[in-house]
Structure 1
Amino acid sequence: MSFVVKRRDLRHLTKETIEEHAAKGITMDALTLHRSGGHRIVLTHGDLNQANIMVKHGKIVSLIDWEFSGWYPEYWEYVNFCMHIRPTHKGWMNYAKDIFSDTFDDDLVFTIALLHCL
């Protein structure tokens, strides 16, 4: 079962929309099957957010606060970044394509749905 979302639809991702998908038959087993492998394990900062990205003259010059760094699936940094955007900083979602070489919207939706199922 594929759980696909377009970037423009992420702003509509709420508890209610996830419940709608669940009502259509997306079960924990289906979600687990969807996530079985396929991603590289990479060294990751682990806590990219507005406070940890230092910008000067419109360019990223430094990343600080590496205490959550480690080896994670390649989608994790993007997913974690998107899940922790503060309501007052929603515009940061627009910068994701500039910050990340790859975006993983399917994995973002999967992770949110999985957390909702737990």
Structure 2
Amino acid sequence: MEIFRDFTFDAAHAIEGLPDGHKCKNMHGHTYRLTVYLTGGLDPKIGWILDFADLKKLVWAACLDHLDHKNLNEVEDMGSPTCENITLWIWNRLKPELPGLTRITVREGENSGCTYNGD
């Protein structure tokens, strides 16, 4: 069984090295959507894998407090703040805290995103 929870955060970034005139070269912002998926055994007493409230606290403490309403170009250890690197940065912070983490998806707006499962 796999559960998931969605999160949103707002942040700004600029992608260096792009040609002049590319809209992503300039500082701009997005409302990002993060979806965290995990598996695990059901607690026999309660009947859930993990309390969604506990998952929310963990994701905010490990990741989103460092990203929400921030300039992603200034986030330590992220590198160029592409959607792919944002996804890897989040994964690397969540996986040690959530052994059952199976994948995450980061959406940069409504139409674009990146999914990572550790491979």
Scaled to the shorter chain, the TM-score interval is: under 0.3
TM-score by length of 1: 0.26
TM-score by length of 2: 0.26
